[in-house]
C-alpha cells in the first residue's frame, strides 16, 4: 500500500471513531442499529465497498436502509457485481473493519486483508453506487459512506438518490452487464415487461376460469416508505386499463415509516394496517415493507381488525403452480424436453419458518423442496443451483431465478416451435410466457414491486380471486416467541436450523415435548442480531401451538439458565 493511500485512510478514519460499547456484526441485513450509532460503521462500509470494487473491478452497490425496522434505526449493506448480496467470504472482514477501535488499527485491518486478497491499489477508477431510503438519518449516513468510499484512491461514490433496495441491486447488476442502469431504466423495464407478461398470459386464458372482472382493483400499503412513492411513479408509467391500483401510506400523507403499517407489521401482527378500513373490505390488498423488498397480500374482513393474510409462502406457491403448469404445457406434446435430452429442474427453496402446510402442498405437486438456514443469502445461493429456483420466506421476501442455460434453451425452443407450427401452438405460448416472466421478475433480489406485478398477472391469467388463491392450502396454526439469554452462541444448530446440536440434551427434550401435539413441529435458533433464542412452533390448533411454544421456551430457560419471553 502506497504512502498516499495510507495517509488518506488514516486522516479520513480519524473523523469517524467507533462509538464506545457498540459491536456490530454484518449479517443477512448488513449492519443495522440505532442510526445514532452508525456513522463510523457506514464510513467503514464505504471502505469495504470500495475495496470490493477494486477486487472485482466491477460496479458495487451500497444501500443505506433498515428495511422494516423502526424509523429511528438505520443500516448499511453491500451489493455484489451480480446484484446479489455481499459474498459471505467477506463478512468476517466487514466485522473486523467495524470493530477496529482506532484509525491505526483500521489501517492494519485494511492492509492485512488487501494483502490476503491481492487487491491492487493502482489508482484505476472503480464505482460504488450509493442509495438510501427515506429515513431522516439517511443524508448524514450518506455523507459518511461517500467519505469512506473516497478514502480509497480510485474509488468513486455515485449518489443514485432515494431508492428501494431492489432498485439499487438491479442497477448494480445492469451496470455490470453494460446495459442501461438508471432508475428510469428500472421502472421502464418493469412497465414494459408487465405489459409483455400480460399480453402473453392473456393470449390464452384457461377454459373454465373464474371471471376476474370483479377483482380488478388492488389497494397497496406503501409502509410510508420509498416503495409507496416509487409505486405511484410506476403506476403512471403502466397506464393500466384492466387493473386499478390505489396506494395508501405512500409517505406523502405524513405517516411514520413502518409504524402500524408495512409488510412486516401485517405479516407478524395479522391486523389491518393504518389507513385501511371499511372502504377496503373484501378488496385485494398488498403491503410493502420500508425498502420494498418484501411483499404480502391480505383482505380486510368486515367483522374485526384481523386480516386474512396471504403471505410469502402463498406467493411462492402461486408462482410454483404457474411455472409447473407452463412447463407441463411446453413438454406436453412430442416431449419438448425429451427430444433434446434437456430436463429443466425446478427447485423450491424455503426455511424452517415456512408453514408446514405450504411445504406439504408443494411436495404434493411433485416439486423438489429444500430447506436452508434463515437468511436470504442462503436461500438465494441455493436457488442458483436449479434451472428455475423459486425462493420465498413467509415474511414476503423472495424471487424466481432462471439460469442462463435454461433461458438459452427456452429461447431456442420458442424459435423452434414458431418455425414448425402453423399459428401459435400451445407449447410456443407456454415458452413465451416463461420468457416474459423472466424479464419481469427481479433476478438480483426479492423485489416487492416486480413480485406484485407478477402476482397480478398470474391471478388475471388463472382467473383467480385472492380468496381462491388463499384456498390453495390452509396454514397450520403457529406461534413464535423469543427468549432472552446471556449468550446466544451457546445454541448451535444443524440441518437448516431444524436440529440443535448444542447444548447437549435440549433437542431430545424438544422432540419429547413436540411429540405430545398432533401435527406438532418446533425448532429453536439463535438470533443473528441480539442475545435471544427464537422459538417457532406449529400444531393442529392455535392453543396447541401456543402451548408447545411456551413449553419449549421454558426448556430454553432451563438449559441456558436465564430468560424472559
Query: Per the annotation, where are the binding residues?
Result: 67, 289, 291, 293, 393-395, 525-529, 534
Out of 40, 67, 198, 450, the active site residue is 67
Q: How far apart are CA 70 and CA 77, in angstroms?
A: 17
How many angstroms separate the first and last alpha carbons of the chain?
Answer: 50
32: closest CA among 81, 60, 72? Answer: 72
Residue 49 and residue 78 in contact, taking contact as beta carbons nearer than 8 Å: yes
Provide the b/e sequence for 32-63 (b: ≥16 CB within 10 Å). Answer: bbebebbbbbbbbbbbbbbbbbbbbebbbbbb
Determine the 3-state secondary structure of 381 from DSSP.
helix
Q: How far apart are CA 149 and CA 46, in angstroms?
A: 4
Strands 126-132 and 73-79: unpaired
Q: Is 67 a catalytic residue?
A: yes
Q: How far apart are CA 296 and CA 313, in angstroms?
A: 9
- Residue 81: which region, alpha, beta or left (left: phi > 0; alpha: psi -120 to 50)? alpha
Question: Which residue numbers belong to the known binding site for substrate?
Answer: 393-395, 525-529, 534
DSSP 385-407: TSSEEEEE-TTS-EEEEE-HHHH
Q: How far apart are CA 387 and CA 405, in angstroms?
A: 8
| Strand stretches in 271-345, DSSP E | 284-288, 295-299, 308-310
Q: How far apart are CA 263 and CA 436, in angstroms?
A: 27
Question: Which residue numbers belong to the known binding site for Mg(2+)?
Answer: 67, 289, 291, 293
* Enzyme catalytic residues: 67
Amino acid at each position: 500500500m502506497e504512502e498516499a493511500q495510507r495517509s488518506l485512510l488514516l486522516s479520513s478514519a480519524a473523523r469517524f471513531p467507533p462509538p464506545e460499547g457498540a459491536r456490530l456484526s454484518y449479517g443477512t441485513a448488513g449492519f443495522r442499529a440505532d442510526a445514532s450509532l452508525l456513522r463510523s460503521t457506514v464510513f467503514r462500509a464505504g471502505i469495504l465497498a470500495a475495496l470490493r470494487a477494486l477486487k472485482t473491478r466491477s460496479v458495487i452497490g451500497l444501500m443505506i436502509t433498515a428495511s422494516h425496522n423502526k424509523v429511528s434505526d438505520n443500516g448499511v449493506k453491500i451489493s455484489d457485481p451480480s446484484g446479489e448480496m455481499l459474498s459471505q467470504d467477506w463478512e468476517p472482514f466487514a466485522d473486523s473493519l467495524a470493530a477496529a477501535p482506532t484509525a491505526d488499527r483500521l489501517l492494519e485491518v485494511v492492509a492485512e486483508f488487501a494483502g490476503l486478497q491481492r487487491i491492487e491499489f493502482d489508482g484505476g477508477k472503480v464505482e460504488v453506487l450509493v442509495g438510501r431510503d427515506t429515513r431522516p438519518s439517511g443524508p448524514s449516513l450518506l455523507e459518511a459512506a461517500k467519505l469512506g468510499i473516497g478514502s480509497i484512491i480510485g474509488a468513486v461514490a455515485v449518489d443514485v438518490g432515494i431508492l428501494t433496495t431492489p432498485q439499487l441491486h438491479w442497477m448494480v447488476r445492469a451496470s455490470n452487464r453494460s446495459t442501461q442502469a438508471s432508475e428510469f431504466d428500472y421502472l421502464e423495464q418493469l412497465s414494459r415487461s408487465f405489459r409483455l407478461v400480460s399480453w402473453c398470459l392473456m393470449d390464452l386464458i384457461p377454459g373454465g376460469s373464474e371471471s376476474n372482472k370483479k377483482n380488478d382493483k388492488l389497494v397497496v400499503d406503501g409502509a410510508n416508505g420509498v416503495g409507496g412513492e416509487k409505486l405511484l411513479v410506476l403506476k403512471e408509467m403502466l397506464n393500466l386499463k384492466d387493473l386499478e391500483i390505489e396506494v395508501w401510506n405512500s409517505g406523502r400523507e405524513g405517516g411514520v415509516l413502518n409504524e402500524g403499517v408495512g409488510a412486516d407489521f401485517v405479516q407478524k401482527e395479522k391486523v389491518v394496517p393504518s389507513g385501511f378500513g371499511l372502504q377496503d373490505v373484501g378488496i385485494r390488498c398488498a403491503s410493502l415493507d420500508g425498502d420494498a423488498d418484501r411483499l404480502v397480500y391480505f383482505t380486510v374482513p368486515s367483522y374485526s381488525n384481523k386480516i386474512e393474510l396471504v403471505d410469502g409462502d402463498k406467493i411462492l406457491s402461486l408462482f410454483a403452480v404457474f411455472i409447473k403448469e407452463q412447463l407441463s404445457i411446453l413438454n406436453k406434446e412430442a416431449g419438448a424436453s425429451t427430444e433434446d435430452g434437456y430436463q429443466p429442474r425446478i427447485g423450491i427453496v424455503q426455511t424452517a419458518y415456512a408453514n408446514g402446510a405450504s411445504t406439504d402442498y408443494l411436495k404434493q405437486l411433485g416439486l423438489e423442496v429444500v430447506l436452508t438456514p434463515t437468511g436470504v443469502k442462503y436461500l438465494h445461493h441455493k436457488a442458483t443451483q436449479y434451472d428455475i429456483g423459486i425462493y420465498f420466506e413467509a415474511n414476503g421476501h423472495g424471487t424466481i431465478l432462471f439460469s442462463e442455460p435454461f433461458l438459452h434453451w427456452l429461447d431456442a425452443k420458442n424459435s423452434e416451435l414458431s418455425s414448425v407450427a402453423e399459428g401459435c401452438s400451445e407449447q410456443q405460448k407456454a415458452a413465451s410466457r416463461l420468457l416474459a416472466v423472466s424479464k419481469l421478475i427481479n433476478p438480483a433480489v426479492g423485489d416487492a414491486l416486480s413480485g406484485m406485478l407478477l402476482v397480478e398477472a398470474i391471478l388475471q391469467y388463472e382467473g383467480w380471486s385472492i380468496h381462491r388463491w388463499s384456498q390453495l392450502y390452509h396454514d397450520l396454526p403457529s406461534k413464535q416467541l423469543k427468549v432472552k439469554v446471556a449468550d446466544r452462541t451457546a445454541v448451535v444448530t444443524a440441518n437448516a436450523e431444524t436440529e440443535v446440536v448444542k447444548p447437549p440434551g435440549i433437542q431430545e427434550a424438544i422432540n419429547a415435548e413436540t411429540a405430545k401435539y398432533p401435527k406438532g413441529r418446533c425448532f429453536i435458533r439463535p438470533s443473528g442480531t441480539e442475545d435471544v433464542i427464537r422459538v417457532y412452533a406449529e400444531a393442529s390448533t392455535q392453543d396447541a401451538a401456543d402451548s408447545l411454544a411456551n413449553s419449549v421456551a421454558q426448556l430454553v430457560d432451563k438449559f441456558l439458565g436465564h430468560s424472559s419471553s
